[in-house]
Each structure stands twice: as C-alpha cells, then as structure tokens.
Structure 1
C-alpha cells in the first residue's frame, strides 16, 4: 500500500473536525432523465455497482500515526456498498424535499474507518429529474479542485455512453469530459551550473513578500489602524452567525443568469464577485434587521481565493483567503457595492505575489489563529475572525452530460465551524450562477429567507443602477 504525507494545510481540516463540525464539502447536481430511457437511474446504479476500480482520492484511507498521511487501499479492500447509496423521494419530490434530504445527509460526519467520500443517487423527483449528491473531506478537495474533478467525470458529448463512475475516474483515471486537453507542462528555464544564487534570491524575495503581507494584516488586526475600507481578521462584529453550532444543517438554493450579473457588474464598474458580495450583504442586512440583530459595524466575509496552478484536479487544497466588508451597515445598494469594491481591491493588494510552497506557508500562518480555535474547540466564544465564508467557484461554461442525461443545475454544499454558522458558495454553470446556502439549523431559523432576500437585493441593485 502506498503512503502519501498530508500537507499541513490539508491535515488541519482533519484535526479541526468534530461531530458538530464535520469538515466535508458536497455537491448537489440535478439531471434530467432521458425521454427514451425511463429506467435510466436504476440502470445507472446497477452498472455502477459492478465497477470496483478506485482512483485517488476515492481509495485513500486516513492514518493519523506516525504522521498524518493517506494510505492507498487496493480495490478489493474498499466496500462500494458503503459508499454508494441509492435513495428516492416520496411521490414526485419537490425541490424543498430534496433540500431536506441533502441537509440530513450533509449533517453526518463520515466514518474514518473508510475512505472519506459518499455518493448518493436520488430519484423520485418532479419533472423527470434525478440528483447526484456527493461529499468528500475538505482535506482532499477544495472548491476549484472539486469542479475540475467534476469536469473529468461528466462529458460535453450528449452521445457519450457507458461512462465510468466518479470513483473510477478520480485524479488519475481517464478523462471523460470530451473537452479537456491535458495541460502542457510548465517550461522550467534551464539554469547554468552554479546558478543557485538566483534560487536563493527568489526564495528571499518570496519570504519578504509573505512576511510583509502577514505583518501588515496582523498589525492592522491588533491596532485597528489602516485604510477605513480594509477588512482584517478578528475585526468582525459579533452576530447571530458567530456562536456555537450544532450538528443539524439547513440547505437552500438560489440562481441567476450570469449575463444578468455581468450587466449589473458593468453598470457598477465592478466585478461579478463584487455584485455577489453586494447582494449577500443586502440579504444578510435585511435578515438580521428582521430579527433585530443587525450589528452597527459591517459584517466581514472570508473569501477563498484559488491559487491552484495548471488545470489539474489533484488531491488536496490550493486556496488562500482575503477578507472583505459586506456593507451590511449600508442600506443603499450602490453605496454598498462602492464600499465592497474598495475593500476587495485592498484585500487583493494585500496578498503576497508568490506561489507554491511560499503561498502555502502564507495561508498556514494567516489562518493559524482561526484553525487553532477550531482544533481546540473554542470557536464561537470570542470575537470572530469573520462573520461567514462567501466563495465563488467557476464551473463548466457548457452543458455537461452523464450517459446522455443532461445536468440541469449544480449547487455547492459547504462546511461550517463553531463561530461560523453560515456559508454561501456559488458555482457558475452553462450560463447560470448557482448559489448554495449552508447553515446551522439551530442558529439560523428560516434560512430560505436569506436566499429569497438575495434575489430581491439583486432587483434593488439593478433598479438603482438603472
């Protein structure tokens, strides 16, 4: 059995995990049953049950000692019946009933005696639809890595048949996408003998850049000095999203046309992500006002930023983070997006211009206080590092198929911490911007209202920008 050591940033997700805070990310994709194959779902599950070939990370088992590592299991030691589940909604299940089932499935912590993934095929939905809900541990996959894995699993060809299941593809199996082209290896400049001085200089420059970024971040955190538009860790106000959480989850969805969001972004002279943060800030402002819980200061979002190189779907995480204001203290949507644009610009400027090991080191130190709280189980007792995580992951721009069954929608289902009871993550797909709202059931009553208010805030922003 092969053994692969975990990176520090990846192993932190495993040590931060508890039954209340399972560190897993999920994906809910809904497909349309082909008209000429009414037994499509049953046939697919039967065929998948016969496939007992596993590729990383689906054959990785976590070993904590002597050092945190993945052990690659042989195929005959993996119990497919445990990982592949077939469910059905009662009657012609609605979107609400699907959300209730996914909320329950996502609440449960995965058993570490098995590889850390589950695949749920869900049928019995209205309008001849079926869904695929998959979850995997965050130590193995981040948002961008998950979408790249999805691209390999699905095909752009509606006529593709006999496609392999996800666990047979992984990061090493054949690419089924029909579009993906293996990236050309990066050209490494040849160095003359004795050119180690250049490497040393590059290393020193990276170290200085990382140290400067971290120093600036935490000096502003401690002193409160810096630009008024600058958001910093542990400067967020305490809110109802930042207490201790419990195991049950709620899940809600919302979606918009990407062209609609781009038109708003152009009118506001901002980015699509600025628009996303603005409507989230407005929705949360309205929700908290309704509960008489709106802080006087603006909420702060922790925004993951992908630093994954190339186009691979390799195992592990390749993300860092920036902090941005949500303008929840501002009612006017145009003033709010103006404040958010300034904040995200400053947040991006703070990131060090490094990659690889240096960026991993920057992220590890940046998130050390937050992850230490999570690992020690003391999160949610003091001032939060941020109020919530808001993430935007680019997905396939064209329609994708699984054995000729067209994927209609895809929504991310994310993780929560003590001290962070709400996560909002979006994935773009085939001209649509799909948002998944994951919340702690006990901390956030009527989570669906936030999704509804987000739609109404987009209307307000459009109207204000004419």
Structure 2
C-alpha cells in the first residue's frame, strides 16, 4: 500500500512522545439519550461494530523508518475491536465519575503497532433531565490539530435531528461522506500577496519569516522586549512548569457565550482576549492560594490556526503559535484584560503574512528550542518557554445530532509536556463556551479549583464593567 511521509512539524509530536507525555488530543462529547429509545447506546454500539469502512486518518499505521510516514491499511488489517470500546459508569453516573474515567483513558499512551486512535462509548451518565451518554475519542496530534478535529466533528454530526443510520467517525474521516447535511463552504480565495511570481514570493516569504523570528529570539535572548510583548523563554517558573508524570486530571467549565461577548464588547477586544483574561485571573487566584504567585506575569502559548477555509478537516497540523502575557501581576480584572489585549495585538502583528509552506517553516523554527527540550528530555528543568498553553477553537453554532441523539456539550482534552503541566482549551457550541482543563495529577493539586476560579473571574469582570 502507499505511504505518506509526514511533515517535519507533524513528526515532532512523535519524537517528543514518551509514556509520561503521550502526544494525543481528544474530545469528550456528551449526548442526550432519546426518550423513545432507552437502549440507544447499546443499539448504536452494536450497529457500529459492523461498520468496517475506514477513511483517513483512521486507516493510517505509523512507520518510523526510514522516515516517519503513514502506511495506508486495508479494512481487513484493522482490528476494530481494539479501537472501538464500550464503557459504563456506575449508576447513577455523575460528571465526577465521567471525569475520573476520562482522566484515566487520557493518561494512556497509544500503542504504535495499531493506527493511533481510540473511540470509547460511555453510558450510565445521568442528570436532572434524564439519561445521557458520552463519546470520548482520541487521536495522535501528529494526525490532527484542534481546528482539524472540530472540522472532523462537523462532518460526523448532523444538523438534522431526523437523520438516521449515521456512520461512525472512522468511516467518515477527512475524506468520507459529510453527514452534516449542510452545504460545503467555499474555498477561500488565495490572498493577493500569495499570487506573485514563485521566485519573488519565495524571497518575500523568507524575508518575512526571518524578520519575525529574528525579532522574537533577539528580544528573548537580550530581554529587551516591549513591556506588553511576550516572547518565549521569558516566563517565570511556577508549579505548572516542572517535570510531569503519567496520571492526568480533567476538569470542565462552561458559560453562555453571550456573557463573554458582552465583556468583549464592553472592553473593545476579542472574545479570545476575554478567555485569556479568565484563565490568567484563575491562575493568579490559584497561585496566590499556594503562596507561589510570581511578581512577573505568566505567559501563555496561544496556538493560532493557519488552515485555509476550504481545507476540509485535513490530516496533520496547520497551526502556528504566538505568546501572550496573562496579566497575572495585575490585581484589577479590567486592567488585566487591557494588558492582555495589548500583548495579543503585538503578538499577532509579529506573525509573518506568508503562505502555508513558509508558515510551516516559521513554526518549525519558532518551536525548535521548545520541542528539542521535549525530545531530548530536558523539559521542565530550566526556565519555561511559557507557563501554559491556552487554545480556543470555534465549534458548530447550531445544535448537532447523532442518529437523533442531541449533542449537549463538547470538551477538548489536550496534551501536556515536561515543563507544561496545564493545558486550557475551549470550544464554542450552540451558544455555549465549553472549557476543558487538562493537568498533571501530581503537579497540580485540586485542578478543579482553577476551573471554579475561572467562573469567579468572569463574575468579577462583569461586576467591574457593570454588566
């Protein structure tokens, strides 16, 4: 069968992986059991076990030699029973028991002798409105990023509650049938600066990339960056930035997205700035409780999608990164969000305006020192590149369904490194803003407190702004 060689940026996630730091991303999607179908989960699992069609990347097997590449397997070569698993919570199942199970599932590194994905159907969850069920699905980060994962989710779930007989994720993938029932989005036009002659475009891209990298690392090494501008390896070391261990903790929080939009309108910034302010304030409260709040501001590594609008879900990553101050040295919540707005503005201005190939090169060089630490095992021993990774991915704006079972909530479950024991990732869905907090169990005691503090910070911002 054919092989597809990985891009350097995708391969890095494989080389950085260890049993303590599995490089996998996941989603936890919770659905409502239809009232007229109490055996919905059992019947769905039974039907899906018979689906032996596999679309990319679910039919890819990793081969590391001579270069990291994906070997495309035939359906007969894939053991579906290994990848597709049925779990149940002890009744009555609560969010706490679900979080414990997901934490355990996400702690386990995937076996490279198999395609790098798992799909877990979890039943037994209950709330005041009745029965729920969840789907936890993880895929290796070398195959998919956050935006690619949400685009894949859009293909898997339907906007029509009457759609039946829907295929499982592994039969949809990036190239299988689109089950959303929505018209495909048009591919975005190529920007004018990318339509120049090839040689001129290459020279212009190289100049932009070199200039951006030069300014970033010269400021980092010399310590002469703008007061509002965050750069790598200038972050203070905290409890979030030591060596980590295998066990994970996972916590969640969610708010109506209109609350965040009201704050962003009142402060004249973006919704993502508000999200960063909630995270910064929550981490400030948490570190203050521990007596470990540094005098310098914490710095966030913020992934930025560079995937084109018509790119589909895509296999592999299409992201770069910017660094932002979190204003944790500022007590007043409105003043803190002003600091964050200024910092993210400078970070965005420094991103080179280049095509996808040049952006891949920029990202590879930007992250090379950090990824090298992870690959060589030095991460968490010196000054961290950043204190935390914080990501925000827009999800479906409308309600979605799986065979008539309504998607209630979706949370991202992300990865950790030595030197970065906390990841905070949000996904918006149907008017809600859903945040997943992934942490190292041993490094961060009572991770749930950070999630609670995020809610307190939103209330503090609203009160300060008179909302």
The 1-side partners of 2:460 and 2:360 are apart by: 40
Q: Could you tell which deviates more after superposition, 252-261 or 180-189?
A: 180-189
Instruction: Show the counterpart of 2:249.
Output: 250
Q: Rate the CA distance shift 1:460–1:293 in 2: closer, same or farther, 3 A.
A: same
Give the secondary-structure state (helix, strand or coil) at the position aligned to 1:397. Answer: coil
Instruction: Show the counterpart of 2:186.
Output: 183
The 2-side partners of 1:301 and 1:420 are apart by: 10
TM-score of the aligned structures, taking structure 2 as reference length: 0.97
Give the secondary-structure state (helix, strand or coil) at the position aligned to 1:371. Answer: helix
Q: State how 1:205-284 maps to structure 2 within 5 Å.
A: 205-284=204-283
Check whether the contact 2:185–2:309 (CA below 8 A) recurs between aligned residues: no
Instruction: Show the counterpart of 1:417.
Output: 417
Q: Rate the CA distance shift 1:180–1:422 in 2: closer, same or farther, 3 A.
A: farther
The 1-side partners of 2:106 and 2:225 are apart by: 40
Q: CA deviation at 1:180?
A: 4.0
Q: CA deviation at 1:341?
A: 0.4
Q: CA deviation at 1:92?
A: 1.4
Give the secondary-structure state (helix, strand or coil) at the position aligned to 1:230. Answer: coil
How many aligned residue pairs are there? Answer: 461
Give the secondary-structure state (helix, strand or coil) at the position aligned to 1:125. Answer: strand
Q: State how 1:69-218 maps to structure 2 within 5 Å.
A: 69-126=69-126, 127-181=130-184, 183-184=186-187, 186=189, 198-218=197-217
The 2-side partners of 1:241 and 1:265 are apart by: 28
Instruction: Show the counterpart of 1:22.
Output: 22
Q: CA deviation at 1:422?
A: 0.1
Q: CA deviation at 1:310?
A: 2.3
After TM superposition, which residue ranges in structure 1, 4 or more long, deviate above 4 angstroms?
Answer: 184-189
RMSD: 1.4
Cα deviation code 1:394-445 (max 9, x no counterpart): 0000000000000000000000000000000000000000000000000000
The 1-side partners of 2:447 and 2:190 are apart by: 48
Instruction: Show the counterpart of 2:441.
Output: 441
Give the secondary-structure state (helix, strand or coil) at the position aligned to 1:241. Answer: helix
Check whether the contact 2:225–2:231 (CA below 8 A) recurs between aligned residues: no
The 2-side partners of 1:51 and 1:141 are apart by: 23
Q: CA deviation at 1:181?
A: 1.0
Q: Which segments of 5 or more consecutive residues in structure 2 lack a partner in the other structure?
A: none
The 2-side partners of 1:185 and 1:349 are apart by: 22
Give the secondary-structure state (helix, strand or coil) at the position aligned to 2:240. Answer: coil
Q: CA deviation at 1:276?
A: 0.5
Cα deviation code 1:304-328 (max 9, x no counterpart): 0000012310100000000000011
Give the secondary-structure state (helix, strand or coil) at the position aligned to 1:456. Answer: helix
Instruction: Show the counterpart of 2:55.
Output: 55
Q: CA deviation at 1:199?
A: 1.6
Q: CA deviation at 1:2?
A: 1.4
Instruction: Show the counterpart of 2:372.
Output: 372
Instruction: Show the counterpart of 2:68.
Output: 68
Give the secondary-structure state (helix, strand or coil) at the position aligned to 1:219. Answer: helix
The 2-side partners of 1:429 and 1:406 are apart by: 12
